[in-house]
Chain A
Amino acid sequence: MLTLLRAAAALALLALPARADVATAVEQVILPGYAGFTEAARALETAAEADCRPEALRPAYHAAFDAWMAVSHLRFGPAEEGGRSLAIAFWPDPKGSGAKTMARMIAAEDPAVEDPAAFAEVSIAARGLFALERLLYDPALTGDYACALTRATATDLARLAAEIEAGWAEFAPLLLTAGQPGNARFLTETEARQALFTQLMAGLEFTADQRLARPLGTFDRPRPERAEARLSERSLRNVQLSLAALERLARALAPDSPQTEAGFEAAGRLAAELDDPALARVGDVQGRLKVEILQQRIHALRDTVTTDVGAALGVSTGFNAADGD
């Protein structure tokens, strides 16, 4: 009840002047995040050109995936145009579309690998970081064609990263001039704040309800094979990096939110204590319990962020988005 009253009191102070929250998030978190990803993807492309062998490429691969995790939750603007974020990271893929398409390409020695424009037309499921993961961690994928596919995929990834960064050079000013005449994308400052708030909330939900929930499955049927990036054993790392990235965004949007900070700190600590890189132990009672506790912690954090950050920004989940009808 107290929390509700606090939220109501904060909402009553809605006549907010132009504020630094959106600008801080864009300039200090989002743009540097995309710049970092572009750089890491370019480095991966260069490394693949020099040496396409899996063991040689893995460090650059992990660096690129790490860099993607800093921005993977930003599902609006240039990352959504043309399905770019899906082409970078197509997961979950319950029907295994990516592996199937890749197997077909390999069997046919699809010449798309010779032409970046043709490769950009390959199914989004068969490109990006998860395609590279198969090429670098599935021992069955070797040979000259696999090498060409690795290089083509890395080149495509670098292109996507560069396109998103270039797109943000035009998209960031729209966020920063929300509500000003001529800005048809963000008609009010509230829209810009709500757009960022939505990314934060959706990011927390994705980590709890996909990254953790998919391998958890049910108690009777745990599904460790459904963990994200389990071949490269990045499942837990992605959870941790996602939480860290969301914390940076939350801090930029609402710097004075001690409960939110405490929530991120607690979730981060639980994740760090997990010691289960591929979330493979969801099948045994102890291992499962720890993942469930982390998931509950993130759900609680989502509620804290809703009230805390939402009140600070003067926004909530969209009127209709929350409705369901």
Chain B
Amino acid sequence: MDFFTIVQLGDASIRMAIPLLLACLAGLFSERAGIFDIGLEGKMLAAAFLSAAVSFASGSVWVGLFAGIGISIALSVVHGLASITFRGNQLISGVAINFFAAGLTVVIAQGWFAQGGRTPSLSGAARFDGIDFPGALTRVRDKMQASPGMQFYSEFVSGHSILVYIGLLCVPLTWWVLYRTRFGLRLRAVGEAPEAVDTAGISVVRLRYTAVIICGVLCGIAGAYLSTAVQAGFTKDMTANRGFIALAALIFAKWRPWYALGACLLFGLFFAIDNRFQNIQLQVIWIMVLLIGVSVAMTSYALKREWIDKVVLGGLSAVLTLLALLTWNAVAGDTVDDQVIGFGAALFETVKVPSQLIQSLPYLFVVIVLAGFVGKAIPPRAGGQPYVKER
């Protein structure tokens, strides 16, 4: 792998990370104020659709962006209504918003454009184009021959759409708002101890609505970025579960803005690798080492604990070990040039990792992150509970 490939990978990671980052910060505002938001996905999807549709109709991507933010805020307010005003179940409300957006975007897209649930392709001023910094190279051939510094500048720093830079700027901005303003202090307080905020004479309801609306704005930008900057138009289910991965990144980042940037870049890198290397070949011995290694680690962890750990982790280890042995056995039985591969030689044969497995890796990683083996994540104390004012 040469330097330019690495730079390209970094570039793709940023592209992939930005919608995650915006959604993650959106979730951060909401959850820090004590409102769980499973509906990030739906808000992004609705915003992606409406911003593409309005951009197409008006010819201006900025009008589209504001339309996207508008619909996202509207859904946020519905979520607020359910979880703040009517003290409903926040998870159920979020799930409903996700389904609502997933269904409605396709129905409306079909009704308006009749192109099988997508918007027409956007071009020109109806799209966010990359901004080329002064002196940056734009043609791939020029970049490949340039010096490493120039490659880094042209590919990695320059050439993104304005929303990427806005998204990155949101990180210090969020940090500043959260930790350096009075509003931020109150916001964090309302997620930890709403009764204290209430006692101080500050409206819990108002603070939480503000947080939910900020969440809507950020989700709106994330959605618009997907349909008007990454792609040229809306396609069905185009958010592709980014809302859920953003939530996992948020937990990974322990609800802190700078860590959220790190977590989202990590997930972005995952997706970039995913896209670039669809065809991964591994030697059987590495598959065995990996699977059996994980099994041994899990079993030894479980042995010192209760029976439930032994049963679950032991069973999982057995499955993984079996999988490793089956792979070995399958390769060993194969014939190449009329010669049966022996068990010894089979260890050094390469097998193709199923592409479905590679595509599932980000989700698997989310589960591992949530399992908390990378450190204990403690959510805001009042998260998910509606606040009932004392009488």
Instruction: Say whether A associates with B.
Output: no
Interface set of B (CB-CB < 8 Å, partner A): none
